[in-house]
Amino acid sequence: MALGALKDLLGDTFEGLTPVPETKQVTVKSHSRTRVIGQPATSVSGFSYEFTQWPTSQANNAASGEVVLLSWDGSDGSWTGRVTGALSALGIFLVANSTKPVAFRSERGTKYGPFQKGT
């Protein structure tokens, strides 16, 4: 999608595209560990730690996800995008971020929308 079309749809600030990290808590239970089969086991005590998990994608450089055609008031036609995950999640994203009524169509021809922020 061209930058101008994206600005037209989401506004100039792209607020909804700002990644937000999550703080994850990991707890490791105490256990025994055998480094070499046949050797005695050593005891590992339990511990906890936190880390920051940033949003990631399973995509590589190849095209991934399902193709959707997006159109909105003033879009001058349809724009192609790709969605990984549920199409309902795209609808939720558009309700939270779209400055104009936008609808999309899946590869199978199912129509969704219109969606708009504040509706």
Alpha-carbon span 72 to 101, nearest angstrom: 6
pTM of the entire predicted model = 0.56
pLDDT tens, N- to C-terminus, the chain (119 residues): 667 777 777 777 766 667 788 899 999 999 999 999 999 999 999 999 999 988 776 656 556 788 898 888 888 778 888 888 889 888 888 888 888 888 899 988 899 888 877 65
Integer Cα distance of 106 and 91 in angstroms: 12
Query: Are 42 and 29 in contact, with CB atoms under 8 Å apart?
Result: no
DSSP category for residue 61? S
In this prediction, residue 21 carries a pLDDT of 86
Could you tell me which residues are beta bridge partners of residue 105? 69, 111
Alpha helices, DSSP H only, in 2-86? 3-10
106 bridge partner residues: 68
